[in-house]
Structure 1
Amino acid sequence: MPVFEPNDLFALRRRPPQEKLVDQGFRQLSIALASIVGLVLVGILLTVLTGAHQAIGAFGLRFITTSDWDPIGNQYGAFTAIYGTIVTSILALVIAVPLGVGTAIFITENLIPLWLRQALGLMVELLAAIPSVVLGLWAIFVMEPFLRPLLEALHVLLGWIPLFSTTAQGPGVAPAILILVVMILPIITAISRDSLQQVPPELRQAAYGVGTTRWGAILRVILPAAVSGITGGVMLALGRAMGETMAVTMIIGNSNNFSWSLLAPGNTISSMLANQFGEADGFQVSALMYAALVLMVLTLVVNILAQWIVRRWSLKYS
């Protein structure tokens, strides 16, 4: 009796025309849907470029290095908004990453009782579902008044540092950073938790088998194995922070006067667009489009950096 190899059996099987037609249709549908996404992105970019053409020709790169924003005199510079966007996003990330990754470790590594892990997971999910306008109202009426004495103390103690050189007068960059922490914390926690749960249990068992402690296994084995997914979540949170509009608009102060201080009112590109685009006219529209183009470029740089970092970490720990 002849013995057939699996490849021989696959070759003997003839696929019916209907099955081939379904495969071809699915392939063409996938290509069409992917092309639609690409066309939408290209369309958005062309729309912003077309709208910003006049401002690009008038200001060039000077637009991103000056902070004058005078609609009456048609003098525009977005340095204040660019500075506010970068500073609020990065500092929010510096605070949120240890909190988010630490929370994910406590949830996944059985460091706390089961009922507390479930409660923390539920609270993280509920925090992600709160609308940004509600968080903005909470920041105005609860968070900022509560933190104002602490911010004033920072000014008294560290006022010689430019970052704390002004008094806390209410809305400002520092409250905007803290509300961004609240908004991106669920993203970092959820993605870090999923990444840690995907680590093969064999790695944990091998670490414990060679005599390492629990924290030694977490820091030297589990976290490095999940670092690519965690890094991707961190970069996703950074992109969310850079593009957040409503909550930041409500608490940052929306001032175009440049100041290095985190306690002074500031602005971000998204907040500036939300505040001014509805009433803008003429050349101001082109300037706002230019600012939107700068934000798109910043977001693109973040995404490219995220892909590069994830690829590097994946190759290192694969």
Structure 2
Amino acid sequence: MVLGDFLFSNLTRIFAWFAFLLLMCVLFSLCVASAPAIHAFGFHFLISDVWDPVQGHFGALSAICGTLMTSLIAMIIGVPLSLGIAVFISEISQGKISKIVRTLIDLMAGIPSIIYGMWGLLVLAPFLSNHIQPVVSEAVEDIPFLNTLFGGPPLGIGIFTAGLILAIMIIPYISSTLIDMFRSVPAVLKEAAYGIGATRFEVVRKVIVPYVRKGMIGSLMLGLGRALGETMAVTFVIGNSKELTSSLFMPGTTISASIANEFNEATGHLYPASLLELGMILFVLSFLILAFARLLMLRINRKKAGAHS
């Protein structure tokens, strides 16, 4: 092996291991810093919604539920919109319209999260409070389950508002990657489908989506990771309430919002350790979701290999 190739291959190997070691150092530091809370509360920390710094009792259930609920709302709203934008830009629009929309999507990705949070608090929350939440609550008043899910006073701020802000924030990340993937599909495949009489919808569903399925999963996981870890925008509009609620219109909290709100004033022995344990939970939660995505892609690959064999 040439000396230059040897040095280059080992240098890149060092870079790869550096990323892994950095990740392990972050996890190790979180485990060490949160050890007092882990020893004090154990597994009960995950299933308790009590958060009382005065009495020294802490539980992560409300923050975990808020994180999962806001992220789920963001994905339910954001994924179809992102998919529609990607299909429009890559398959339907032509010329200047496509370039203008793509530029706007890129600009949305560059807007700081605190701007989204301020806009959500000053514009979106009042609009929802005055025009949307009262109508929805009245419409589902007599419908079981829905009257609980969308009940409560029209405050504007709350879990649903936070999820809606997150949906707006993840759209640029998902749609941009989907556009590039859709454009990477060989034209001969699409032309063959159109040649046998397939509609545009059928081409997208049966040709484009199966071709880029693996990349789509990665794109969705990228958006989900963005939603799980978002802090400032959520902090502005979620209400920052530690009470566990079943209504999406009521205030709640997330792991990242709890840490951002309380870390500066956390004193004593267990308070900062509990917040750091929340950070460790978010770290592990993100890792599990990404691991699930990798396993799903491996399963898809195995199915394809079995079909070809």
Query: Is contact 1:96–1:181 with CA below 8 Å preserved after alignment?
Result: yes
User: Which among 263, 269, 273 is matched to residue 286 of structure 1?
Assistant: 273
Q: Structure 1 length as normaliser, TM-score? A: 0.91
Query: In the alignment, which residue of structure 1 is the partner of 2:128?
Result: 147
Alpha-carbon separation, structure 1, partners of 2:77 and 2:303: 26
User: Which among 70, 74, 82 is matched to residue 56 of structure 2?
Assistant: 74
**Residues 45-54 or 148-157, more deviating:** 148-157
Aligned length: 299
Q: Residues 15-73 of structure 1, C-alpha deviation per residue, up to 9 Å, x if partnerless? A: xxxx7111111112112111211111111111100011111111111111110000111
Q: What SS is found at the alignment partner of 1:98?
A: helix
Larger radius of gyration: 1
Which one-letter code corresponds to 2:266 in the other structure?
A
Matched, 1:60 2:35: no
How do residues 150-161 of structure 1 correspond to structure 2 at under 5 angstroms? 150-159=132-141, 160=144, 161=146
Q: What SS is found at the alignment partner of 2:156?
A: coil
User: Which among 104, 111, 128 is matched to residue 86 of structure 2?
Assistant: 104
Query: Is contact 1:89–1:238 with CA below 8 Å preserved after alignment?
Result: yes
Alpha-carbon separation, structure 2, partners of 1:125 and 1:170: 28
Query: Is contact 1:229–1:310 with CA below 8 Å preserved after alignment?
Result: no
Which one-letter code corresponds to 2:134 in the other structure?
E
Query: In the alignment, which residue of structure 1 is the partner of 2:183?
Result: 197
**Residues 48-57 or 305-314, more deviating:** 305-314
Q: What SS is found at the alignment partner of 2:34?
A: helix
Q: Structure 2 length as normaliser, TM-score? A: 0.93
User: Which among 94, 99, 103 is matched to residue 118 of structure 1?
Assistant: 99
User: Which among 34, 54, 73 is matched to residue 16 of structure 2?
Assistant: 34
Unaligned runs of at least 5 residues, structure 1:
1-18
Runs of 4+ in 1 over 6 A off after TM superposition: none
Query: In the alignment, which residue of structure 2 is the partner of 1:133?
Result: 114
Unaligned runs of at least 5 residues, structure 2:
none
Which one-letter code corresponds to 1:251 in the other structure?
V
How do residues 225-236 of structure 1 correspond to structure 2 at under 5 angstroms? 225-236=211-222
Q: What SS is found at the alignment partner of 1:284?
A: helix
Shift of 1:173: 0.7
Q: Residues 54-113 of structure 1, C-alpha deviation per residue, up to 9 Å, x if partnerless? A: 11111111111110000111100011100000010011101111100111001011x234
User: Which among 219, 235, 254 is matched to residue 240 of structure 2?
Assistant: 254
Query: Is contact 2:105–2:172 with CA below 8 Å preserved after alignment?
Result: yes
Query: In the alignment, which residue of structure 2 is the partner of 1:298?
Result: 285
Shift of 1:314: 4.3
Alpha-carbon separation, structure 2, partners of 1:209 and 1:113: 21
Q: CA RMSD in A?
A: 1.4
